[in-house]
Structure 1
Amino acid sequence: MGNALILLAGGKSSRFGRDKTQLELAGRRLVPAIVDACRPFCGELFLVSNAQGKFGLPGVMELRDIYPDAGPLGGIHAGLTASQSEKNLVVACDMPFFSPELARRLLEASGGHLACVPRVGDKLQPLFAVYDRALLPRAEELLRAGRRPVRGLYEDTDTLFLDCGDWCQSGEAAPGSPFYNINYPEDFDRLL
């Protein structure tokens, strides 16, 4: 059935203080850079944000949360609802060192599992992970129950926790790591 990208770009950026989806590094906005990197191996491209038509990227379907204000799980649910693909690569939009090679590795490793979640040491990375479309009912159930942590998707299911320490020589939170994300202005300043 192929693969899909579900790019989560709907946060309120409350910790950052302004819209992170518009950030640029080296003259390129992060959102289009991640989308373009995934085009070769993701047949469906979804962008879940708080405003439809915000990006206007060719071939990308923009979605809004079905369950508003439900955090990343709400975005994953919206993406899985729209997706026709069995395997769905979920990525947060604020990861400036997104690695298409790691994304491919996760998709390949995910075969036969309902989820493939990277692990660096004892830290899991649920917002750069692969979720099977079969998890949609579970996401719906969690959201209806008011449970928002993404880990609810993969707890007690057939999940592969893939050791990705080799991708983070200086630690998962260090600039250069594919899991480095921009939460605060200082995180962005470190890159500049």
Structure 2
Amino acid sequence: MKACFTLLLLLVAGSNIIANAQVLPEHPNAKPAPIQKDLHVVKPYVTINAQETAMGAFIVEPDQIASVEVIKEQDAVKQFGDKAREGAVIIRLRESVSLVRVQEVYDFFQVSPDHQQLKLTINDQLVSDKEKLLADLQQIEKLELKKQDVTAVKRNSFDEEAPYLNIVTVKQ
């Protein structure tokens, strides 16, 4: 009984706060809060064995990485030009691994031309620029055609029926 009364009191108090918040007059000098449209996401210039890629657009076995070098903005621009104005990440592999681009992945898995036009994910993480994909084919288990999960926190589209191609790696 005491718990019910406490819950009822909280509900009434909460609804009064909401109701009062809705009827407060607007201050004549009030300015609307700015809407933050674009959160700046740092996109460094990325290479693997001197081939350009992007963060989240490569599939290599971590054990194959010999070194990772991070170059700050000014030094990166001096070395790679304006495309590296947000810094650079240089990845070198231990051994010569044959890395392929997206078209070779499509060819290997016999992806139809229609499906090649779809958005691409790696383990359900969107690849923003699929033309920069670099992959070790041995690390890809399969390609699957999927539809949006309407309950997912991250989605690739607002269209519930929008299909996409998902690359499933050997080690997820």
Query: So what's the TM-score if we normalise by structure 2?
Result: 0.25
Considering only CA atoms, is the larger Rg found in Structure 1 or Structure 2? Answer: 2
Larger strand proportion of the pair: 2
Higher relative contact order (CA 8 A, sep 6+): 1
TM-score using structure 1 length: 0.23
